């Protein structure tokens, strides 16, 4: 159905990701959201064209979708309360499309990862999930997505995923899952999400990010297309 692609120099625990399902994007105007995932960068402001819709965004925070004008649109990520742009990119935004701009990598190498998607919802009874490796501290990883009580399978769902990789979108039956991450080729789990509840009709982007507040190497920042819960941070439960 949908496809995700990189269009720039690339871009719950037991807490359920609640919602009534379905996309929050009723408009056919382009939809844009931004995520701060540069682990050593300060708070940022984000400008879209001549407006400044997002201010004081801190690490592992994300906006909901904003309706924007179609056509070439300048996006800047600014050090908060300054005119200093750490990312300055012009994106061709199209109607009936959704765009996720991730401020990725360390501040010395900060760059945008930009993901585009059409506005179609998953098939009835399904949720959709895309996995992104945006942890500059982590090596290439394997990603396992299983039932919450399942043992680690012999083979990962996604194997040998390097930094800045964005998976294809996967449609799965709505329900409870667990995400586990290991170093590529290893069965040593470095991240365990606990139980994640994926809601019928909702699209998720699960982004592996540096966990700078604990000894764990990575955590997940999970984006949704729900107005009520645009993102949730899910840290290691093991």
pLDDT single digits (tens) 192-202:
999 999 999 99
pLDDT, one tens digit per residue, over 36-93 is 999 999 999 999 998 999 999 999 999 999 999 999 999 999 999 999 999 999 999 9
Residue 220 and residue 222: Cα distance in Å, rounded?
Answer: 6
pLDDT, position 13: 33
User: What was the pLDDT predicted at 34?
Assistant: 94
Residue 22: the pLDDT is: 40
Structure confidence at residue 212 (pLDDT): 87
User: What pLDDT shows up at residue 147?
Assistant: 96
Q: Beta-carbon neighbour count of residue 104 at 10 Å?
A: 28
CB 204 within 8 A of CB 192: no
What is the model's pTM? Answer: 0.86
> Within the chain, how many helices (H) and strands (E) appear?
0, 19
The per-residue pLDDT for 213 is 80
List C-alpha distances in Å: 3 to 124, 125, 161.
Answer: 18, 19, 18
Residue 78 gets the label, from left (phi > 0), alpha (psi -120 to 50) or beta, of: beta
- pLDDT less than 50: residues of the chain: 1-26
CA distance 235 to 238: 9
Q: pLDDT value at position 160? A: 97
């Amino acid at each position: 159905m949908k496809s995700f692609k990189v269009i720039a120099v690339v871009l719950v625990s037991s807490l359920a990701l609640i919602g009534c399902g379905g996309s929050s994007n009723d408009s056919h105007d382009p939809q844009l959201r931004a995520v701060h995932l540069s682990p050593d960068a300060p708070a940022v402001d984000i400008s879209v064209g001549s407006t400044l819709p997002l201010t004081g965004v801190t690490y592992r925070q994300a906006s909901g979708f904003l309706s924007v004008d179609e056509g070439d649109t300048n996006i800047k990520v600014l050090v908060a309360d300054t005119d200093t742009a750490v990312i300055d990119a012009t994106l061709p935004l199209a109607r009936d499309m959704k765009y996720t701009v991730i401020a990725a990598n360390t501040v010395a190498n900060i760059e945008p990862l930009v993901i585009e998607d059409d506005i179609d919802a998953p098939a009835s009874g399904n949720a959709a999930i895309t996995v992104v490796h945006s942890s500059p501290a982590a090596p290439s990883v394997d990603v396992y997505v299983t039932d919450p009580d399942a043992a680690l399978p012999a083979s990962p769902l996604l194997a040998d995923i390097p930094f800045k990789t964005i998976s294809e979108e996967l449609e799965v039956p709505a329900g409870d899952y667990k995400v586990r991450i290991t170093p590529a080729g290893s069965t040593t789990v470095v991240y365990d999400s606990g139980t994640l509840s994926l809601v019928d009709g909702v699209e998720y982007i699960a982004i592996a990010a540096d966990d700078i507040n604990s000894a764990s190497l990575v955590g997940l920042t999970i984006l949704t297309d729900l107005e009520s819960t645009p993102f949730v941070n899910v840290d290691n439960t093991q």
